[in-house]
Structure 1
Amino acid sequence: MREQCDPPADEAVRNLFQREKVQAANALMKQLVVNENVSLEMLAPPLRGYFEQSGQLPSWTNANLLRQGEQVFGRYGPHIITALFCASLPSCYSAAKGVQVLHLTARMETDPHRRIVETGQMIVDVMAPGGLGMGGRGLRSAQKVRLMHAAVRYLIRQSGRWDPAWNQPINQEDMAGTLLTFSTVVLRSLERMGCMLSDTERRAYYHTWRVVGYVMGIREHLLPERLEDAIRLEGLIQQRTSGATPEGQALTQALLKLMEHIAPGNLFDGLPSTLMRHLMGDATANLLAVPPSNWTRLLVGPLRVLGWVSDGVVSLQGPQAAQLVGLFGRKLVEGLFWVNRGPARVPFRLPTALRESWDVRGWEQARL
């Protein structure tokens, strides 16, 4: 699977660049990123055919599980965003070969704000109510990310900078591993944060991302039906692909700096690296050179300020930890509105229902 990619999307992109001049093709791809709503009539024929054919959900989609997955996101969204920053993305950076794509595109190190906003936006789009329904924003977002993956593969191969020892860029194993960081890794992180989920809710959340994986072109045999099998697959892929690299460590440092930047004040100083170690485990954190942490030293201060503890004893499990991480996650979401301000940037979108249930503030001023 490291030598297999995504033929339908790759063919659409190849036809686009062969049919159009490179400058025109790049302009079309940029237009896809900027525009929320894709009008098929405005697209070049190769892309039009791609969007028409790739917008179907799999036959095994369970609408009831999708709704339950959306409800989990509605209840624990800030915690899930925290898991994205502190577990999902850095876990991807620990893939020694796969991380080379991110390094070559240079987006995370040179423009970390935009990279994080785009990733966070996709998660919100697919998990918001109705996101994967017919004409849903999440469905379109997944199609666009799949197409961007194909464009990156095409351009990297043309650049002459890709080492064949890394196998194919954005190959099937790396795509499956990445998808699992957004599903099984998030579920494990929620448990470590002290969030309570039933077995049905866990299954529903995984099912939602299994559907997303299908839309994004991942082979069905890499999308196990059972959550237990997906957890085993995640562990196998991690064993096969993990390794310490300068590129992965640089991306992790850029991510940590971004979190320190967008979390206001000094209440959460040191919390991002501490959460990374807690959620991923020391073995993966060491590969990424995540700074060492002392839970008690870092957490007692914030908890005392918030009035949640009065002495030096604090547990990372249970309601206190879940409350603190939820507050931190809410501040990260609010920060996503601010870091992407500007006329040349696409504003971060969060449905009204989620803004209200998460008590996210400041978004109105951030969009001015």
Structure 2
Amino acid sequence: MIPTEASMDALRHVGDELADATVATLFERGEVGRFNSLMRYVSTVGAPLPEGLPDVAREYLRATSAPPDWVDWAEMEKARLFFLDNNVHISTALSFASMPACYVVPHVAKLLSASHGLNYPSKRMAETGQFTVHLMRPDAFEAGSRFIPAAQKVRLLHASIRHHLRREGRLDAGVPGVPICQEDMIGGQMFFSMLVLDSLHRLGIHMSTEGAEAYYYAWRVVGAMLGVDQEAVPQNLQEARQFLDLYMVRYMGPSPEGARLTRQLIDLYEEVVPGTVLDPIVSALIRHLVGDTCANWLEVPRTRFDTVVRAVPHLLGVLETIEDRSPFGAWALDRLGHLTTVFELSSLTRGRVMHYAIPEELRQEYGVPSTPSRTRRWTPPAPTVNH
């Protein structure tokens, strides 16, 4: 389906009926605090639900306990192998392209500022990283997995934000419809799938068409589990390109919240980078991946590494050659990529499992009280909107 202004406008007025009804009932009955306390014990598939869990929550967890019946498991395995082969590159794209892309959409940046403490930016990044790692495990949908409970909690988190803003009548007057609507949820899905693939291409990573398609497919499954309307979501990479282009042209621009979140992100990763000499590489990577216009809107500083970072594709090309020609080299680089991802995630989480809870209030800032082939390289679909 080719997205249009009219179809996008319609998606702005639709939320997530099941999750919205569940959250509304929890608030009406005053059961949010009890729900949050007990849900800390719900972290793996197959574990018995704790005694005392509200009935409406128990029913929601039962209804959302399995992936969609249309999932192609062979395609999901291709996606997992694609992730394993590119895990460090995907982590880079998520950190330095996908997150800044969220911040360049002003109403999304405002929501993130309201629902995540700005003094703890690592929480958002840790949740995103851990969520992706859980998704790409071979047992992601089996007993003992942490992915499905995480998806169930994220879906309720989104619904709780909609609930707060509707109840207080604090919807953004400049953006009609409901917050975290279907258009925004699909837009987020594009940031973590299509935009990641764009970033890998920009970094010079060689991807097969099959690998790129499988990675996007995995995020379609994620979208379904997060309450995205499958009649509206792009079905393939070409449709994803059309949706992402139109979404960004409709909304992207500067905002105080976007610049502030970006500054927090840069500070966070400068702490992760050993020493201080290489700190500017963080800003340079963001600018390289999102482009000068978006980087300027986000007030990403220019650094002496802005030119140097353009050599990254050449360096990665050399590493890929080593990987292709040497089994030991392939093993060593894959192991290095895994260790790099683990180090980054452990630095953000400080060794803890991230828990998603329904906020009983939003921040004052919003105005609310209290194994792939390299012989056929994938090329992103051409832009569909003149920028």
What does residue 165 of structure 2 align with? 156
The Cα of 1:332 is off from its aligned counterpart by 6.1
The verdict on how the C-alpha distance between 1:296 and 1:279 changes in structure 2, with shifts beyond 3 A counting, is closer
The Cα of 1:54 is off from its aligned counterpart by 1.9
Q: Which of these residues, 11, 23, 36, is aligned with residue 13 of structure 1?
A: 23
Contact 1:195/1:318 (<8 A) preserved:
no
Secondary structure in 2 matching 1:98: helix
C-alpha distance after superposition, 1:47-73 (max 9, x if no partner): 111111123323432111100101111
Q: Which amino acid in structure 2 is aligned with residue 187 of structure 1?
A: L
1:265 and 2:265 correspond: no
1:212 and 2:212 correspond: no
1:52 and 2:52 correspond: no
Secondary structure in 1 matching 2:212: helix
The Cα of 1:291 is off from its aligned counterpart by 1.4
Of 95-104 and 316-325, the range deviating more from structure 2? 316-325
Alignment of 1:17-36 (within 5 A): 17-19=27-29, 21=30, 24-29=31-36, 31-32=38-39, 35-36=42-43
Alignment of 1:175-254 (within 5 A): 175-254=185-264
Q: Which amino acid in structure 2 is aligned with residue 146 of structure 1?
A: R
The Cα of 1:135 is off from its aligned counterpart by 6.2
The verdict on how the C-alpha distance between 1:150 and 1:70 changes in structure 2, with shifts beyond 3 A counting, is same
What does residue 112 of structure 1 align with? 121
Structure 2 unaligned regions, length at least 5: 1-10, 321-332, 356-387
C-alpha distance after superposition, 1:62-112 (max 9, x if no partner): 1111001011111111111111110111101111222221122242x1211
1:292 and 2:313 correspond: no
Secondary structure in 1 matching 2:174: helix
Alignment of 1:165-180 (within 5 A): 165-166=174-175, 167-180=177-190
Of 186-195 and 127-136, the range deviating more from structure 2? 127-136
Contact 2:287/2:306 (<8 A) preserved:
no
Q: Which of these residues, 94, 101, 111, is aligned with residue 84 of structure 1?
A: 94
Secondary structure in 1 matching 2:106: coil
Q: Which amino acid in structure 1 is aligned with residue 200 of structure 2?
A: L
Q: Which amino acid in structure 2 is aligned with residue 150 of structure 1?
A: A
Q: Which amino acid in structure 1 is aligned with residue 345 of structure 2?
A: L
What does residue 358 of structure 2 align with? none
Q: Distance in 1 between matches of 2:35 and 2:308?
A: 47
The Cα of 1:346 is off from its aligned counterpart by 3.2
Q: Distance in 1 between matches of 2:284 and 2:37?
A: 36
Secondary structure in 2 matching 1:92: helix
The Cα of 1:330 is off from its aligned counterpart by 5.4
Q: Distance in 2 between matches of 1:116 and 1:245?
A: 20
Secondary structure in 2 matching 1:174: helix
Secondary structure in 2 matching 1:248: helix
Structure having the higher helix fraction is: 1
Which protein has greater RCO, CA pairs closer than 8 Å, 6+ apart? Answer: 2
The Cα of 1:203 is off from its aligned counterpart by 0.5
The verdict on how the C-alpha distance between 1:30 and 1:155 changes in structure 2, with shifts beyond 3 A counting, is farther
Secondary structure in 2 matching 1:129: coil
1:3 and 2:13 correspond: yes
Q: Distance in 2 between matches of 1:173 and 1:347?
A: 27
Identical amino acids, percent of aligned pairs: 34
The Cα of 1:126 is off from its aligned counterpart by 1.1
Q: Which amino acid in structure 1 is aligned with residue 83 of structure 2?
A: F
Q: Which amino acid in structure 2 is aligned with residue 122 of structure 1?
A: F
Contact 1:172/1:219 (<8 A) preserved:
yes
Q: Distance in 2 between matches of 1:267 and 1:33?
A: 40
C-alpha distance after superposition, 1:151-195 (max 9, x if no partner): 222233334543343331111111111111110011111111222
The Cα of 1:200 is off from its aligned counterpart by 0.4
Secondary structure in 2 matching 1:71: helix
Q: Distance in 2 between matches of 1:264 and 1:329?
A: 18
Q: Distance in 2 between matches of 1:296 and 1:177?
A: 28
Of 155-164 and 225-234, the range deviating more from structure 2? 155-164
Contact 1:277/1:285 (<8 A) preserved:
yes
Q: Distance in 2 between matches of 1:244 and 1:323?
A: 37
C-alpha distance after superposition, 1:194-246 (max 9, x if no partner): 22110000110000000100110011133222111112111111111211110
The Cα of 1:293 is off from its aligned counterpart by 4.0
What does residue 310 of structure 1 align with? none
Contact 1:263/1:335 (<8 A) preserved:
no
1:99 and 2:109 correspond: yes
Q: Tell me how large the CA RMSD over aligned residues is.
A: 2.7
Q: Which amino acid in structure 1 is aligned with residue 349 of structure 2?
A: N
Q: Which amino acid in structure 1 is aligned with residue 161 of structure 2?
A: V
1:315 and 2:315 correspond: no
Contact 1:244/1:287 (<8 A) preserved:
yes
